[in-house]
Structure 1
Amino acid sequence: MYIPGKIKYAVVFLLAIAISDFSVAQETVFSLFKTNDAKADQYFRDGQYKKAIELYNKHPEKQGDDDICLQLARAYHYVNDPVQADVWFKEVIGREKTLPVADMYLYAETLSTLKLYDQAIEWYSLYLKKEPSDPRTIKKIWQLRNRKYLFEDSVHYTVKSLAINSLSGEFGAVPYQDGLIFISNRKRKSFIHSTDANGESFYKAYYSKRVTDTLHGPLTTRYDEPSQFCRELRAAFHEGPVTLYDGQNKMLYTATSSQKEKSKRVLQLYFAEQQDGKWRIMEPFPFNSTEYSIQDAAMSKDEKILYFSSDMKGGMGKRDLYRSTRVNNQWTKPVNLGEAINTSGDESLPFIDENNTLYFSSNGHAGLGGIDIFKAPVMANGFGEVTNIGYPVNTNFDDFGIYLEDDGTHGFFTSNRQNRNDDIYELDIDLQSYPLVVKGVLKYKEESWKDSTELKIFSHAQLYLIDNFKNASVSTTSSNDTGTFSLTVPYSSQYRIKVVDTRTGDEMFVGLELSKRKVTENIYEIVVVKNAFKGVVNPKTVK
């Protein structure tokens, strides 16, 4: 491999020996530059952008070479380094005052990722003049000009990075048993460490057991040290996202094919199920191919429709979403989801929620920059309107791969918003309007073993609403002669209530779980056990 310092030293040494040898040395050096450029171009064509960048950067006159500058800008864009992409695009713009048409679009994408939205609009507009029939650009310009609408519902969302994240990449979190399955290319403890073409570790499936703090709720859930998931399913190369169904007894997962086609391996889908407590591979998806990838599976709730992403020929973009229907226990030929969902960009990582809404990730639909998460209701004759789910799930960075639990108020997604690493984020969705008034009745029983028919009114007690994250009281009230109370919840958080008996000074704590769905009135029955200083909240929510 070419090392600049050594070549420079060799040239100086040759000059010192004989001036007549200079032309030979110079020809050798520049031949080596040309060889490196050719290698870099091949790496670029193969998608090995980091290796291409390394070689392009070794060219001594790269700042003055438009072709190399553009290749560097493109490569940095594809490895999610918009700062460097901006630098190299500007090198060309500074000389030429413009860019090739396709690069106008890439530069606009880069500027969006840098939150330079006004400049992005300018370059999208320049591209649109050259390609007036491109519908995605029209939508992206409109969305950036009206980006405030993507922030309207942000108060209802809370996101938090999980502690299982590493300095490598993590994505594809799915709840399983008492923890999470997720995908990561972190370095593994192994005597043999294999890497992909870019020198990165292969993606593997991991499992981390959840350690639940029941008092503080799901946003403070902790996880044990991750370990590799399911030895029986391990692939020689990449392992991809997992989707579970049939009560978590069956699985669809992505893995690199064992066969090569033109020196490349593709991704394929496989079915597995639990037998005698162990996962076993049952069969590959019948439409797997060695010519293109099929990956990122999602199963409908009735287990009759399989959604996935593929770069098979005949699509609308680089990767499109498809579906296959199970008829008489056989999967039908995949059908492209069409232009309502797919664009000339990338669509991937589908997910179907309890309400039969399709969520997916895309860099072709209009958003805040990079990859965003979108949703569209599944209709009898297609799909409803595609909408961006907005901030803070979507940002100017890459945000993708959402999973929502059945109630639709809690889930996970992935983003590279911190340090450009793909990390898993926990998502909590609270659709309540705040401040929220909680009403109820405070009761007690003397002994914990006595049944609920012996409940007594707990009058003239002081109630303090404690924010678990701040560990501070944010609202207070008292129960009247009949034990009724009215307590104001100022904002969305995780809470507990401290109940103080004003006659004895005794303190008792009870957890408070608020409905995250919009309700007209919240009525609670709080029961405390005096001798044990413990409390139980029985919500009687009126919808």
Structure 2
Amino acid sequence: MNKNYILIYLLCVCSLSFGQKKSLKRANKLFDNKAYVEAAEIYKQLDDSQESLKKLGDSYYYNFDMKKASDAYKKLLASYKDSLNPEVYFRYAHALKGIEDYDTGDQIMSEYSKLLEDTPQFIEDLTSLVPYNYTIKQVESGSNIGDFGISYYQDNVVFASLRNTKNPKYAWNENPYLDLYKASVSEDKNLENVEPFSEDINSKTHESNATFSRDGKTMYFSRTSKKRIKIEKEKIAVVKIYRAELIDSIWTNITVMPFSSDLYSTQHPVLNKENTKLYFSSDMPGSLGSFDIYYVEIFNESFGNPINLGNTINTKHREQFPFITQDSTLYFASNGHKGLGGLDLYSSKYKDNAFEEALNLGNTINSSMDDFGFVLKDSLHEGFLSSNRSGKDRLYSFTREPNRKTYFVEGEVRDKNSKEILPGSLVTLLDENGTIVDQIIVGDDAKYKFETEPNKKYQIEGYRSFYIPATEDINTNDEGKIEFDLELEIESYDDAEEIVVTKTDGYIYIELENIYFDLDKWDIKPEASKTLDVLVNLLKKYPRMEVQLGAHTDSRSSYDYNLVLSNNRAKATLDYLVANGVEKIRLKSKGFGETQPLVNCGDNCTEVEHSINRRCEFIILK
């Protein structure tokens, strides 16, 4: 009996193992064919192997089910963290951000990027950076299946939709293939009179993202190829850009663009105002990431070569859905730049023949999910975007108002030579007329921060006792840059001037040739005046320098006599400096008599030793 039980157990184990392998093979085939919904149903029933957990997470991720995706990735990292592709961390972080678990999401993204991530702080920072605040509203279009990729066309709009239930279902998400539709826009920004755009354009595969010439007679749009082609180890149905012409109310002459290919995708076309350039996204060879934004020049009957917009716009991840305004500002979607989660919307101004650094549009328009397909109506502050924040692709209308920006200048104060921070330094903000706007004595971190106004000129001054003040000019123009990170470097008198020396007693001296006086006299002799003129020039060079003038005698007269004599000599020196243009408030004179000899020789001093003790010293007080 025991042998029979063992045999039955072994048969069950073998059967279960065989079934697991068969199910995994079936799931992998569905996954490779991008049938993610069906694949996920199998993966979730399998043992938690590295392969099944990764592909389960990916299947959910690609269909925007971020809660289930993050649960699968969490299990994956718990068991297989040391052997995972870094891209798993990237998708896991975005899945966590998608459910607004920013604490864990930032931790995972920090491990991926090797940079500190703090999404809540990033969102807060954007409130003062973004040029506009947006008010958005979900568009009612007569369908809840899915709409996206809207564009303006004459007095109407054209958009992509899954609403044609007669179309075959797409295995990726088990929804119908996309077609293009046109509609009018009501006063409250809902879509009315929705109907298929053109039976000549819509086919049995996907069509989306149309853009139209100014005269409305030429259009470009995305269309997915019918056949899948094996590229490396993956079968892909690439997307191509097509062009069509309107002749006698019929869209005809539908041709694929010469820069499209069977080996990579080109998609999301948009024309510039002059219709001289066509912007699009592509994963063609040479791209920086999975998708980059390009443009081609449009000539009469031909097109230029695709030009990549470079790494100020493109990253190693996805940049898609470009839109270019009348003033050549580029809007696009990306999950590679720092964001709130998923695809975020960004803008970049075109200046000096290049696009500037991309700016996230902020949380009044971006969500923790995918936000994309931004379009603006002419130069007005209204338009549309697409987002899957509700769990499926939907259209949203927006209006926007200029954001009252708060401009800041901030930085820290350091020693110019040692580069050490200088706590206790005084930093002053002055306007263009030199009037003090604000001041701060920096703390232990030597950091300062001032609030400023747009389109104004300012000067920042850093100062510290025994240092030369340093100034920097700034201009708070209204061109996107509203935070200035300005490191003030100030140089000590000791480093700047050879005749300034810090001695072992801790005092900072100005070392000049000794000043000699006649016996029992305190008049400034011509030889002494030449020495003091060096001091005059130094004090005029540094208007904040304050100096103590100290006079010393030898010990050959009485204590009281020498004290009076030294005071008279120190005062005479001060009077000379004042007479030559140095403010008296910056000077202090003091006679020390015989109390501080350099050579302590008592009553047995030689003439040389007496002359050494009979001196003037100049100590910097500030």
Q: Cα offset for 1:223?
A: 2.9
> How do 1:360-439 and structure 2 match up within 5 A?
360-418=332-390, 420-431=391-402
Gaps of 5+ in 2: 405-622
Letter of the aligned partner of 1:79 in structure 2? N
Distance 1:234 1:366, change over 3 A: same
The residue aligned with 2:122 is 146
Aligned to 1:232: 200
- Asked if 2 retains the 8 angstrom alpha-carbon contact of 1:92 and 1:99, the reply is no
Match of 2:169? 195
Instruction: Give the SS at the match of 1:248.
Output: coil
Q: Secondary structure at the match of 1:75?
A: helix
Alpha-carbon deviations, 1:361-405, whole Å to 9, x = none? 111111111110111122343211210111221111111010001
Q: Which runs of 5+ in 1 are unaligned?
A: 1-16, 130-137, 213-217, 434-543
Alignment equivalent of 1:114, drawn from 88, 99, 119? 99
1:353 counterpart = 2:340: no
CA contact (8 A) 2:37 2:59 kept: yes
Q: Does 1:164 align with 2:164?
A: no
What's 1:176 paired with?
153
The residue aligned with 1:51 is 38
Distance change >3 Å, CA 142–CA 384, structure 1 → 2:
farther
By how many angstroms is 1:155 displaced?
A: 7.9
TM-score calculated relative to the size of structure 1: 0.67
Of residues 163-172 and 297-306 in structure 1, the stretch that sits farther from structure 2 once superposed is 163-172
The structure that has the greater radius of gyration is 2
Contact between 2:131 and 2:403, CA under 8 Å: does it hold in 1?
no
- 3-state DSSP of counterpart to 1:226: strand
Question: How many residues end up aligned between the 2 structures?
Answer: 394
Q: Is the 8 A contact 1:357 1:377 kept in 2?
A: yes
Letter in 1 for 2:395: I
Which structure 2 residues correspond to residues 67-466 of structure 1 after superposition, within 5 A? Answer: 67-95=51-79, 100=84, 101-129=86-114, 138=115, 141=117, 144-152=120-128, 156-164=133-141, 166-188=143-165, 190=166, 193-198=167-172, 199-210=174-185, 212=186, 218=187, 220-258=188-226, 260-262=228-230, 264-327=236-299, 329-418=301-390, 420-431=391-402
Partners in 2 of 1:242 and 1:380 — Cα distance? Answer: 30
Contact between 2:278 and 2:296, CA under 8 Å: does it hold in 1?
A: yes
Letter in 2 for 1:349: F
Q: Could you tell me how far 1:161 is from its partner in structure 2?
A: 0.6
CA displacement 1:441-492 (0-9 Å, x = unmatched): xxxxxxxxxxxxxxxxxxxxxxxxxxxxxxxxxxxxxxxxxxxxxxxxxxxx
Pick closer, same or farther for the CA change 1:345–1:144 going to 2, 3 Å: farther
For 2:281 and 2:81, the matched residues in 1 are separated by 38
Counterpart in 2 of 1:487? none
Residues 1:269 and 1:141: Cα distance change in structure 2 (over 3 Å) = same
Letter in 1 for 2:159: F
RMSD, aligned α-carbons: 2.6
Q: Give the SS at the match of 2:64.
A: coil
The 5 A counterparts of 1:28-39 are: 28-39=15-26
Name the residue aligned to 2:566: none
Question: CA shift at 1:165, angstroms?
Answer: 5.9
TM-score by length of 2: 0.59
Give me the whole-angstrom Cα distance separating, in 2, the residues matched to 1:243 and 1:78.
26
Per-residue deviation, residues 98-156 of structure 1 (Å, max 9, x unmatched)? 77343233222222222222222222222244xxxxxxxx4x82665332123446983
Query: Residues 34 and 171 of structure 2 are in contact (CA less than 8 Å); yes or no, is this contact kept in structure 1?
Result: no
CA distance in 1, matches of 2:195, 2:50: 47
Q: Identity rate of aligned residues, in percent?
A: 29
**Cα contact 2:106–2:119 (8 A) shared by 1:** no
